Amino acid sequence: MADPHSSTDDGSLLIAGVGQAGCQMAAAFWARVCRDHQIDPDTGHSESGPTGRWDRLFSLVGTGSRDERYVPRCLFVDSDPRTADELKRKWRELLNPANFVTGEESSGNNFAVAFREVNDRLSSDIRDVLDREFRKPPAPTGFIVFQGFGGGSGSGLAAGLFEILKSYAPSAPILSVGVLPSSTVSTSVTEPYNSVFGIEAALRNVDLSLVFHNDLLLNLASTHWEIENPSMEHIDGLIADMVASITGPVRFDGQEQPATPLGAVLNDLAPHPDFPLATGTIFPLQSILRKNASIRTSGQILNHVLEKNLDLCPCTEGTILSLGLYGASRAGIPGYRTVNDAESTENEGIPHFAQLHLSAEPSPHSSICVVVNSSSIGQWLEELCDRFDQLWERKAFANWYLDAGMTEAEIENLRREVGFRVDRYRDI
């Protein structure tokens, strides 16, 4: 198939959720962007017509205002059908059930089983969905893939999916959004294996992998968002809000510039292809405005966040390769603008940072999302490799992977590849 990315770049996206965590995060993202574009997520209709570059994410089906529905360009893939069935039920008017591809049972927390399954059984169904989506103009020219690295499906199915996506559009940018296994919120002992294999595949295929630790997000939910006993649903909402913020410039025209393609946003955040990892945080603008009555403009918010609130974001130690600040309002995004260098020169301590997109008149309902790509993210990979090594030294659970077709040499090679990444981060 021709690579549509090479001939046209109208910026339309296909959003995939893989595995339980990935599907749930992707569904939260759709609920959030529906609201941004004034599409009712419960019906798929838009009373007053959708706003912004909705056509970059949704297809319009039906004619006449009564029949018109806005259908997400999505793909949900999981070995286990249960999460998919729940999402199909919950969002039955919004998400097309034909865009869900599932196996018969969970991979059992096993990258190798899931990777084999995608190649053996699921790839033709995935290709059917992609064929349909690529036939609808405009064809997707960028992908976002949500995944839980610790899960067998989130790692193994996604590794297979990246290869399929590349076969449709080899040069289209890919953003992966993933949760890393955390020591406190973890569901399986094999998460370090799955994550090393899953991260290796992501870093080999994507332009940027935006990674999060669930325990840090749980903490953020209770401290800055004042949510009592935060659940996974709250965490998925925060991740969805961050991805919505980062894709704001893709989905809405700016005041001084038209909407940007995804590739440009990812380039800002991963200015060097060897370091395609970032993490982020999001907090309410209200808390800043309440304490600082003199803040009036986006530029002042930028300076304030860089000076006082940078410690809210993990991984701001070490050398910062890029720092993006994105603002979004829950009540819709009235118009983005890029704060230029002149407004940000007060912060000489930050060597590089990506474009800042905030609405010109900050609303108290806005949130601020900070995304950072820095040398200290390498430590997250290093911790993961250490946890992998503790298992592999004893060959603990090795037979799970060997029995599913991986070889010891292959496993050690994938571990080495992630080790090379750690070394590169150390050398920054």
Residues from 339 through 378 that contact Mg ion (CB under 5 A): none
Candidates 42-50, 125-133, 178-186, 372-380; binding stretch for ligand GTP (CB under 6 A): 178-186
Instruction: Decide: is 20 part of the binding site for ligand GTP (CB under 6 A).
Output: yes
CB of 79 or CB of 96, closer to Mg ion: 79
Candidates 57-65, 185-193, 266-274, 354-362; binding stretch for ligand GTP (CB under 6 A): 185-193
b/e code 222-239 from CB counts within 10 Å (16+ = b)? eebbebeebebebbbbbb
Q: Which residue shows structure tokens 């410039």?
A: 249
Instruction: Decide: is 117 part of the binding site for Mg ion (CB under 5 A).
Output: no
Residue pair 112/39 in contact (Cβ under 8 Å)? The answer is no
Instruction: Decide: is 20 part of the binding site for Mg ion (CB under 5 A).
Output: yes
Name which of Mg ion, ligand GTP, none residue 186 binds, using a CB cut-off of 5 to 8 Å depending on partner kind: ligand GTP
Q: H-helix or E-strand containing 372?
A: strand 366-374
Residues from 139 through 178 that contact Mg ion (CB under 5 A): none
Among 187, 255, 319, 390, binds ligand GTP (CB under 6 A): 187
Pattern 276-315, ligand GTP, x by CB under 6 A: ----------------------------------------
| Phi, then psi, of 188 in degrees rounded to 5 | -145, 145
Number of residues that bind ligand GTP (CB under 6 A): 28
Residue pair 369/282 in contact (Cβ under 8 Å)? The answer is yes
d(CA 15, CA 130): 11
Name which of Mg ion, ligand GTP, none residue 214 binds, using a CB cut-off of 5 to 8 Å depending on partner kind: ligand GTP
Instruction: Decide: is 214 part of the binding site for ligand GTP (CB under 6 A).
Output: yes
Listed in sequence order, the residues at least 6 apart from 118 whose beta carbon sits closer than 8 Å to its beta carbon are: 77, 126, 156, 157, 159, 160, 161, 164
Among 102, 153, 374, 375, binds ligand GTP (CB under 6 A): 153
State both tokens at 299: 């530029």
d(CA 101, CA 81): 8
State both tokens at 215: 């325990």
Q: H-helix or E-strand containing 345?
A: none
Instruction: Decide: is 85 part of the binding site for ligand GTP (CB under 6 A).
Output: no
Give me the DSSP letters along 215-271.
HHHHHHHHHTS--SS--HHHHHHHHHHHHHHHTHHHHS-BSSSPPPPHHHHHHHH-S
Name which of ligand GTP, Mg ion, none residue 327 binds, using a CB cut-off of 5 to 8 Å depending on partner kind: none
| Phi, then psi, of 278 in degrees rounded to 5 | -150, 165
Candidates 147-155, 199-207, 402-410, 416-424; binding stretch for ligand GTP (CB under 6 A): 147-155
The strand order across the sheet containing 142-148 reads 100-102, 74-78, 13-18, 142-148, 174-180, 208-213, 277-284, 366-374, 320-329, 356-359, 336-338
Candidates 19-27, 68-76, 256-264, 366-374; binding stretch for ligand GTP (CB under 6 A): 19-27
Name which of ligand GTP, Mg ion, none residue 232 binds, using a CB cut-off of 5 to 8 Å depending on partner kind: ligand GTP
CB of 59 to ligand GTP, least distance (A): 26
d(CA 235, CA 250): 23
Residue pair 285/301 in contact (Cβ under 8 Å)? The answer is yes
State both tokens at 58: 């949704």
Candidates 29-37, 179-187, 369-377, 382-390; binding stretch for ligand GTP (CB under 6 A): 179-187
Most distant CA pair in the chain, distance: 65
Among 232, 264, 360, 428, binds ligand GTP (CB under 6 A): 232
Among 12, 46, 79, 279, binds ligand GTP (CB under 6 A): 79
Instruction: Decide: is 114 part of the binding site for ligand GTP (CB under 6 A).
Output: yes
Name which of ligand GTP, Mg ion, none residue 207 binds, using a CB cut-off of 5 to 8 Å depending on partner kind: none
Q: Which residue shows structure tokens 């080790």?
A: 419
Candidates 73-81, 185-193, 223-231, 304-312; binding stretch for Mg ion (CB under 5 A): 73-81
Binding site for Mg ion (CB under 5 A): 20, 80, 106
Binding site for ligand GTP (CB under 6 A): 19-21, 24-25, 78-80, 106-107, 109, 114, 148, 150-154, 179, 181, 185-187, 191, 214, 232, 235-236
